[in-house]
Structure 1
Amino acid sequence: MIPSVLPTYNRAPLHFVKGEGCWLIEEDGRRFLDLGSGIAVNALGHAAPELVQVLTEQAQKLWHVSNLYEIPGQQALADALVDRTFADTVFFTNSGTEACELAVKMARKYWHDKGKPEKVEILTFEGCFHGRSSAAIAASGAPKMVAGFGPVLPGFVHLPWEDHEALTAAVTDRTAAILIEPIQGEGGIRVLPDESLKNLRALCDEKGVLLILDEVQCGVGRTGKLFAHEWAGVTPDIMMSAKGIGGGFPLGAVLATEEAASGMVAGTHGSTYGGNPLGCALGLAVIERIGNDEFLDAVRQRAGFLRQKLEGLVAAHPEVFEGVRGTGLMLGLKCRANVAEVVKAGYAAEVITVPAADNVLRLLPPLNITEDEIAEAVARLDRAAASVAT
C-alpha cells in the first residue's frame, strides 16, 4: 500500500522537532550539529531570533495579496538586491527550480525579440543540477534525472565540465545562453576556477551569447562573498538565486540586467505566491544581515578554520577520506569509503551532513556557526570516520 506521503525520498529515520542555531533536536532529545542547513537553506541557522521577529511582525500584518497589486516589501527586497549586485531588475519565485524556468524563458525571449528566434539552445555541463522541473531535468540531461519522463524538453546541449575547447566548439548561431553553476553542489562540490569563469564571460561577449549563473546553492554569502561570481570579478546577464535567500522560508529570485530582461514584459511570466509579503520580509532581513563586509569577513574566517580542521580529519583517516574541496562554507570531503556509510555514521555520532555525486560528503553549515561548534562538529565527524574505518 502506498504511504500517504508520496514515497519519492529515501528518508533517514530521524524526526527533528526543534532547531536552535546550528543544532537540531530529535524527538527523543538527542542534539545533532547540523552541517547541512537543510541543503544550504538555513543560512542563519534554525529559528534565528531576528528572522523569527521579522516573520512574526509581518504575519500579524499581511501574508498574501498576489501580484495583481503593488507589494512594498517586494520592492524593498528588489531594491536591496539591485543595490548590492550586477542586476537592474529582479523577479521573485518560490524556489530555485522556478528560477531556472524563468531564466530559460528569459534567455529565449530575449533573442526572439531581437529578431533571432533560432537562438534557443542553452549550453549546460555534465554534473549540473538546476532543479526537477521539465526544463531543469532537460538542462541536466543525466539519465537518473530524465529516465521515464520523456519526451525530454529539447533545446539543451550537454558538455563536459571544464573543457573550454569543447565549449567553444559548441557555440553556434543557435546558441542563446550558457548556463552554469560557479560551484556544483549536487555534482560534488566542484569549483569552477576564477580564470575559467572569466574565459566564459569573454566567450559569451565574443559570440554574442547570454551568461546565466545558477547561484541557488553557492550564493547568499556561502563562499564569503554575497555571490560566488564576485570572486572572479565578472558579472552574468541572468542569475538564479534561492535556498539561503529566504533563511529557511521558501523564496527564490531571478536577477538580470535591463538588456537581458528586455523581452519579459507584462503577461510573459507570473507567479501566484512569488514575492509575497512574508517571503520578502524575511529575504530583506537575510540580505541586510549577510550582505555586509563585516558578516562576510566572518564567514571567510570561519571557513578557513573549518577547512584547517577538515584537512586534519583527512590526514587522520586516509582510509575514509581523500581530500577537501570547495570554498567558503561550501565544502566537500571526497571519500574513499562509501559516502552513504559516512553519512549514516554521522547520524550515529549526532552530526548532519549531505551526500553528493562523485562520492563526496557535503558540508554546508549555517554561515554564523561558531568556531566552538566547528570544533565539536569535526570531533563528531572524527568519531563517525573511526566507526567507518573499523
Structure 2
Amino acid sequence: MTSSAYSALIPVAKRPGQLFVKGQGSYLFDDTNKGYLDLVQGWAVNTLGHSPLVMQEALARQAATLVNASPGFYNGPMVELANTLVKHSVFDQVFFASSGAEANEGAIKLARRWGQKHKNGAFKIITFEGGFHGRTLACMSACGKPAFEALFEPKVPGFIKVPFNDLAAVAAAMDDATVAVMLEPIQGEAGVVEASCDFLQGLAALCQAQNALLIFDEVQTGIGRTGKLFAYEHHGIKPHIMTLAKGLGGGVPLSAMLIDNAVSCFEYGDQGGTFSGNPLMCAVGQAMVEAVTAPGFLAGVNARSQQLKAGLGLLSAKYGLGEVRGQGLLLALNTGMLDASALVEKAMALGLFINAPRANTLRFMPALNISEAEVAEALGLLDKLFSQ
C-alpha cells in the first residue's frame, strides 16, 4: 500500500510501510501474506499471542449477551474479574479502565486524595529517572523519560525525580508533603532495567516508616510477564496500589488499579470513566487471567525465558555484544556498538519483529505461550541478523 493511503492518520509514530491484516499466535501477516515472527506482541500486550481461541470465544460469548451496560451499573464480567484479581493478589479492591495511562492517572489521583484526607494535604509523588507511566499530562509529568521533559509545559507539578535503585536519594527527597513513591519494578522503556530486590524491600520499609504509599506500575510486568503473576511477588513486599494493563486484556483495551482497603478513600464522583468495567473487555480479561493461572502455565513461561536468555547470551558471546537482562519473557540485549534501531529494521526484512527502546538495546516481549520451536527460530534469525 502506498504511503498516501495513510495520510488521513495523524503521524504520531514512525511506522513501517506494511499494512498488517492478520495475526495468529506468534506470527503477524501483512497484506502480501508475508509472515513475521513477532517478539514485540503489541509491546508486551498479547499475552497468548495474536487472536487466541480463548479470546475469540470470550468475545463472541459476551457480545451475544451484553456489550455495554453503564459504568454506573454492576455487570457480571466486571464483578467476576475483580474477584479473580483480588483472589490472586494481595489487594482488596479494583477499579477498571481502558489503558495503562488511565490506570496510573487513577493511582495518582487516589494517592493525592488519600494525602488530603490522611496526611495533611500531602501531594508530592517521588518517581524515577528512566521511568515511564503513560501519556496523559499527569503521567508524562511522572515519567523520567528525557524526551518528555520539554513537552507540553507547564506540566502537572508535584513529581520529584530521583535516580533509580538509589534508596538514599528517595529518603533525601521525602518530606512532610510526600504522599507516595511510584515506580515500575522493571523499567521497560528505559531498556529493561530491573529494580534490585534490596532496593524494593528498602523502599517498602521506607514508605511504611514515612507514612507514604508505595505504587507499583505493573502495566508491562503484570499478568505473568516476569514468570510470576505479578512482579512484586519476586520480592516479598506488598505495595499499597498496583496498576495493570497490557497483558490483562491480552490485546483488547483493559486496565486496572488494585488497592489495599486501607487506602480506599474515593468518594462518589471522584473517579470514573465511560468504559470502566466494560463487560466485553472484562470477559476477555477473565479469560487471560484464567489462562495464566492455569497449572503449569508460568512454569512454561520460565522455561522459555531460560531458553531465550541462554540463547541471547550465546549470541552475545559469539558477536561481542553486551549483557542480557530482565525477567521472564521481558528481556533485553545490549548491542554494544551496534545501532539497535538499524538492527530492528534489518530484522524486519528477515521476518522478525524486535524492539529498540534505547540506541544500544534490543527488547524481547514475545507471547507468554511462545513455543520452544519458535524461540529456537527467533534465535536462528538473530544469529543471521548479527552475522550480517
Corresponding position of 1:178: 181
Matches within 5 A, 1:182-197: 182-197=185-200
Give SS of 2:323's match: strand
Corresponding position of 1:158: 161
Corresponding position of 1:302: 304
Structure 1 residue 315 displacement after superposition: 1.5
Corresponding position of 2:43: 39
Structure 1 residue 124 displacement after superposition: 0.4
Corresponding position of 1:368: 369
TM-score relative to the length of structure 2: 0.96
Is residue 66 from structure 1 mapped to residue 70 from structure 2 by the alignment?
A: yes
Give SS of 1:322's match: coil
**Range with bigger deviation, 275-284 or 107-116:** 107-116
Give SS of 2:322's match: strand
**Range with bigger deviation, 130-139 or 288-297:** 288-297
Q: CA RMSD in A?
A: 1.3
Structure 1 residue 13 displacement after superposition: 2.0
Instruction: Give 4+ residue runs of structure 1 displaced > 2 Å after superposition.
Output: none
TM-score relative to the length of structure 1: 0.96
In 1, Cα distance between equivalents of 2:229 and 2:141: 29
For residues 66-90 of structure 1, the C-alpha deviation after alignment (integer angstroms, 9 at most, x for no partner) is: 2121111100000000000011000
In 2, Cα distance between equivalents of 1:384 and 1:12: 19
Corresponding position of 2:352: 351
Aligned length: 383
Corresponding position of 2:285: 283
Matches within 5 A, 1:1-390: 3-114=7-118, 116-117=120-121, 119-261=122-264, 263-318=265-320, 321-336=321-336, 337-357=338-358, 359-387=360-388
Tell me: CA distance 1:109–1:358, structure 2 relative to 1, closer, same or farther (3 Å). farther
For residues 257-304 of structure 1, the C-alpha deviation after alignment (integer angstroms, 9 at most, x for no partner) is: 01112x112111001012101100000010111024521111111111
Give SS of 1:355's match: strand
Structure 1 residue 102 displacement after superposition: 0.4
In 2, are the aligned partners of 1:226 and 1:291 still within 8 Å (CA)? yes
Identity of aligned residues (%): 40
In 1, Cα distance between equivalents of 2:175 and 2:111: 15
In 2, are the aligned partners of 1:349 and 1:381 still within 8 Å (CA)? no
Give SS of 1:315's match: helix
Q: Which amino acid aligns with 1:130?
A: H
In 2, are the aligned partners of 1:222 and 1:367 still within 8 Å (CA)? yes
In 1, are the aligned partners of 2:339 and 2:359 still within 8 Å (CA)? no
In 2, Cα distance between equivalents of 1:224 and 1:268: 35
Structure 1 residue 380 displacement after superposition: 0.8
In 1, Cα distance between equivalents of 2:119 and 2:369: 48
In 2, are the aligned partners of 1:187 and 1:358 still within 8 Å (CA)? no
Give SS of 2:239's match: coil
**Range with bigger deviation, 161-170 or 141-150:** 141-150
**Range with bigger deviation, 76-85 or 135-144:** 135-144
Give SS of 1:259's match: helix
For residues 287-339 of structure 1, the C-alpha deviation after alignment (integer angstroms, 9 at most, x for no partner) is: 11102452111111111111111111111221xx3121111100001112011
Structure 1 residue 358 displacement after superposition: 5.6
Which consecutive unaligned segments of at least 5 residues does structure 2 have? none
In 2, Cα distance between equivalents of 1:357 and 1:173: 36
In 1, are the aligned partners of 2:141 and 2:155 still within 8 Å (CA)? yes
Tell me: CA distance 1:92–1:314, structure 2 relative to 1, closer, same or farther (3 Å). same
In 1, are the aligned partners of 2:81 and 2:282 still within 8 Å (CA)? yes
Give SS of 1:361's match: strand
In 2, are the aligned partners of 1:348 and 1:384 still within 8 Å (CA)? no
In 2, are the aligned partners of 1:146 and 1:152 still within 8 Å (CA)? no
In 2, Cα distance between equivalents of 1:380 and 1:274: 42
In 1, are the aligned partners of 2:179 and 2:212 still within 8 Å (CA)? yes
Give SS of 2:79's match: helix
